[in-house]
Structure 1
Amino acid sequence: MMKRFVTILFIISCLRLFSQTPVVLWERGYDNPELAFGSILKTLEGDFILYAGEQLTIKMTSDNQLIWETSGIHTNTITAKNITLHADGNIYSVKNSNPSIPNSLGLFQYDNNGVLTNQWSYPHSDVLFITKLVATQDGGFLISGHKTTSGSGISRNGWIAKLNASKVIEWEREISSSDAIQLQTATQTTDGNFLIAGHKKYDNGTSDFYLAKIDIQGNLVWEKEYGGSENEDVWAVNELVTGNYIFAGASISTDGDVSNNNGFLNVWVIVTDANGNLLNEQIITDGFLSFTESSIIVESDGGYTIGVINDNCVQGATNFNLQRFNASHQRIWEFCSSEGGLYDLVKTDDDGYIAVGFGTINGVSQAKAIKIGIVLDNESFALQNTSFYPNPVKDILHIKSDIVFNHITIYTVDGRKVMREQIQNNQINIEKLPQNLYIAKLVSENEQEVNLKFVKN
């Protein structure tokens, strides 16, 4: 009951602010036709790292203020997601090879200013191609990609390795079958295990979504393939707040597990349970060459936001395209920008989104970043900035707001109503309430509502 009640209150407040389509709040670009931002990372301080290959990495604030820019952060390609932020505050990247050691793997550590401070090398007998670096809950890393055994031609197997907090390889695992497996992405789940995904390519040239779960020791828990009679490939994976898993990629098929593909290459999203069983699938674009290489943003209401390169949301060009879905997989809003291609996406502390990739600004092709969000009217802005003080509180709870509120209803976190009072001078006497955590619903003169938490000492 407690979890359901808190979720209901959260959804009510979120839908009031975000049921409308966001707009561009700012955009920035770097005038170099060779550059594209392939990754964006959110720092512990709430700033952002934008990576455009070894030529350019920048750190900036949410309101588009440049903090620093540098070059020389090592990864394989611009769009490979093998750069991450760690709980120790450092930036880490991984690259396939060290020029002095063929077929080796290099891990690089950079400080908060983008300065190289340490590096590690791991010789390997096979040719590795790394697509994802994940900072793990135990202070280590998961590295995923695929490998080609030296001299074996083009056959490929999936490959993952786990490093501990001392940057020592704990284990590595080859994901092999009679068909080629290429891993594109990975994430750690709340149970400490790992999801890995990419595609399995068959002898007839077609491919399916390949999904697998690996435990913390590197053992295979399950593996699944989903798709149709043509080609599918996963590029993003995450765990929803429901505990289900979401995978996004591209599909050409119109049969099998794939439904409603009315174009050619389109973005296909599937949701599975914790055992990899298919719960939901949908094509979310209607283009000719639409695909995604972006992260999936998991939303607190059980939904998700996906960034795609879409060639059909604005006719005649590829575009930055963001789509927000609720927990029932229904689209709440869709945003399409001017010409360009979106490679990654992150959510900001003020509930906006920063999307990065390439595009044109004032007619010039360049690495591009845009921030989108809701422009609030005066009352909505005031509601969003309403708060309680002091909090925790002993007797008199004050409301800090430009809004005049009429009454307050107070609930325990398990949904039991314990007080309903008229509000005088934006303050309430809660002295008689027992010590506990409470959720309060404030209602204004024109029936606008806001839900806030407070602690009674």
Structure 2
Amino acid sequence: MLIVSFSISYTQYWERIYGENGDCHARSIVQTSDDGFVIVGWKSIYGYSDVYLMKIDNLGTLCWQKSYGGDNNDFAYSVVETFDDGYIIVGKTESFDSGPYGDVYVLKTDSLGNMLWQRTFGGSGVECGNDISQVETGGYIIVGSTSSFGVGTKNIWLIRLNESGDTIWTRTYGGSSVDYGWSVKQERDGSFILSGGTWSFGAEECDYYLIKADSTGDIIWERTYGGSELDYGRSVALALNDGLIMVGSIFSFTAPDCIWIINVNRDGTIVWERTYGMGFDNYGHSIAQTEDGGHIIAGETWGILPLPNLYLLKINADGNTLWERDYGDSSFASGYSVIQTNDNGYIITGDIYPFDEDSSRIYVLKTDSLGEIDWVREIPNRPDDISLSVFPNPFNSVCEITVPENAKIEIYDLRGNVVATPCSADKSASLVPLDKGDRNRASAKVSG
């Protein structure tokens, strides 16, 4: 018996712009259990912003989109797929806040984006949630900032929630000035790593601020890094040998601004530090560990043109540059979230202002392992039928296959290995020998 299958090749590396009316912004992307992606941010149509969640498949096709919020401004900065295949989102609300300036806003949805519950946290001041992670033992951890609680003008705020969104505990960190929390990760030992910036400690201006807290939020150690100028800390990721790696931008030791990456050991001591960039000013917003032990970084680079491009940087475990790319052409483009995908490529999301438009759009790029992109091309429909005859049928050791001109035949075994190519574009054949009793040659692929 001969089983015939058709194959079609296509590319999974692409570039997409989403959004129509109003301004659309993206701040976080995750790959989902079905190999698609969800993106969160906000969308402004009639003057006010709503939290915006969209689901796309692995080719960038929009599956569904949802908006959440009230009569005022609401924003989202981070999304995570939860153990139940739903999503948890954190940001800021001015619609449901307890004061006039905004509260931390948390939303839980099912797998289709339908809201299950929402919570707000805050006081009479200004609060914001910048990042959320799922805790291995259940529930969630949020990092952001608060001016209602703590000892300073604004302090880092860490909030531990159970699976229903109820508060287990909260902690504030920082000094008498301004401090902010940007990113939070849970380590293998159950502790939490917080990254951000501080004006309270360190040198004269803003410095990188890194905190390690135990599973109840008590500080194990805290460190600052930087000089006398503005050095803004952003995202943190795990590194090899139980180390950590943090990205942001630095002006203290370079002019103009450069992306600054520091690698620290388990005690927060710097192992190495590097600056990066391909333009006049460069800013790093997101960092993620890759399968090879290195890291991928997304941000923006300002070159000769007066508009930035989205910037993607790949480094190895020692901080050496493997490659760097920029995207966006003559548009204003920035990258705010990057992850490595299941096929060892990368997906990045952020904002783009197309050169012929006044509004921001959501910008998503799916690249290969080297940061390259190719547009998805239209694939011609496969033929409904093909003239193919096998004689004799069934056959024992030799058969004759008649196919159309320029067709290609590949014989496969049961394990999917090509074991014979009796006919191709530059090779014609009519007799296909099979060893007598060879039961492994199970199928043939015909293309042309």
- Same fold per superposition (TM over 0.5): yes
The equivalent position to 2:296 in structure 1, one of 296, 305, 315, is 305
Supply the distance in 2 between the matched residues of 1:73 and 1:41 (Cα, whole angstroms): 22
Indicate the residue corresponding to 2:109 in structure 1: 110
In structure 1, runs of 5+ residues without a counterpart are 1-21, 255-260, 377-396, 405-424, 426-457
The equivalent position to 1:29 in structure 2, one of 18, 32, 48, is 18
Supply the distance in 2 between the matched residues of 1:300 and 1:276 (Cα, whole angstroms): 23
Indicate the residue corresponding to 2:47 in structure 1: none
Pair 138,55 (structure 1): closer, same or farther in 2 beyond 3 Å: closer
Supply the distance in 2 between the matched residues of 1:316 and 1:122 (Cα, whole angstroms): 40
Aligned pair 1:369/2:369, yes or no?
Answer: no
Equivalent pairs, count: 353
Supply the distance in 2 between the matched residues of 1:30 and 1:100 (Cα, whole angstroms): 26
Pair 121,37 (structure 1): closer, same or farther in 2 beyond 3 Å: closer
Indicate the residue corresponding to 1:161 in structure 2: 159
**Is the Cα–Cα contact under 8 Å of residues 186 and 197 in structure 1 kept in the other structure?**
yes
1:55-454 equivalences under 5 Å are 56-72=52-68, 81-97=77-93, 99=95, 102-103=98-99, 105-122=104-121, 124=123, 127-149=126-148, 155-202=153-200, 206-254=205-253, 261=254, 263-294=255-286, 296-312=287-303, 315-338=305-328, 339=331, 340-360=333-353, 363-364=356-357, 366-373=361-368, 400-402=416-418
Pair 329,398 (structure 1): closer, same or farther in 2 beyond 3 Å: farther
Q: Which moved more, 1:181-190 or 1:28-37?
A: 28-37
**Is the Cα–Cα contact under 8 Å of residues 33 and 367 in structure 1 kept in the other structure?**
no
Q: Which moved more, 1:204-213 or 1:184-193?
A: 204-213
**Is the Cα–Cα contact under 8 Å of residues 245 and 272 in structure 1 kept in the other structure?**
yes
Supply the distance in 2 between the matched residues of 1:167 and 1:67 (Cα, whole angstroms): 27
**Is the Cα–Cα contact under 8 Å of residues 98 and 106 in structure 1 kept in the other structure?**
no
What do you get for the CA RMSD once the two structures are aligned? 3.2
**Is the Cα–Cα contact under 8 Å of residues 39 and 344 in structure 1 kept in the other structure?**
yes
**Is the Cα–Cα contact under 8 Å of residues 40 and 49 in structure 1 kept in the other structure?**
yes
Q: Give the TM-score normalised by the residue count of structure 2.
A: 0.71
| 1:350 counterpart SS class | coil
Supply the distance in 2 between the matched residues of 1:151 and 1:238 (Cα, whole angstroms): 26
Identical amino acids, percent of aligned pairs: 23
CA offsets 1:58-91 (integer angstroms, 9 cap, x no match): 101111122112222689865x633322112111
**Is the Cα–Cα contact under 8 Å of residues 76 and 130 in structure 1 kept in the other structure?**
no
Deviation at 1:27, TM superposition (A): 2.5
Indicate the residue corresponding to 2:430 in structure 1: none
CA offsets 1:215-239 (integer angstroms, 9 cap, x no match): 0011100000010111111110010
Indicate the residue corresponding to 1:453 in structure 2: none
Q: Which moved more, 1:154-163 or 1:189-198?
A: 154-163
Supply the distance in 2 between the matched residues of 1:23 and 1:122 (Cα, whole angstroms): 40
In structure 2, runs of 5+ residues without a counterpart are 1-10, 43-49, 374-412, 421-434, 436-448
Deviation at 1:145, TM superposition (A): 1.3
| 1:36 counterpart SS class | strand
**Is the Cα–Cα contact under 8 Å of residues 231 and 251 in structure 1 kept in the other structure?**
yes
Deviation at 1:115, TM superposition (A): 1.1
Supply the distance in 2 between the matched residues of 1:306 and 1:101 (Cα, whole angstroms): 34
| 1:242 counterpart SS class | helix
**Is the Cα–Cα contact under 8 Å of residues 241 and 298 in structure 1 kept in the other structure?**
no
CA offsets 1:133-152 (integer angstroms, 9 cap, x no match): 22111121111112113899
Q: Give the TM-score normalised by the residue count of structure 1.
A: 0.69
1:273 aligned partner, one-letter code: N
| 1:290 counterpart SS class | strand
CA offsets 1:295-349 (integer angstroms, 9 cap, x no match): x12112211110111113x755311111111122111111111231112112222
1:358 aligned partner, one-letter code: D
Q: Which structure has more helix as a fraction of its residues?
A: 1
Supply the distance in 2 between the matched residues of 1:88 and 1:23 (Cα, whole angstroms): 27
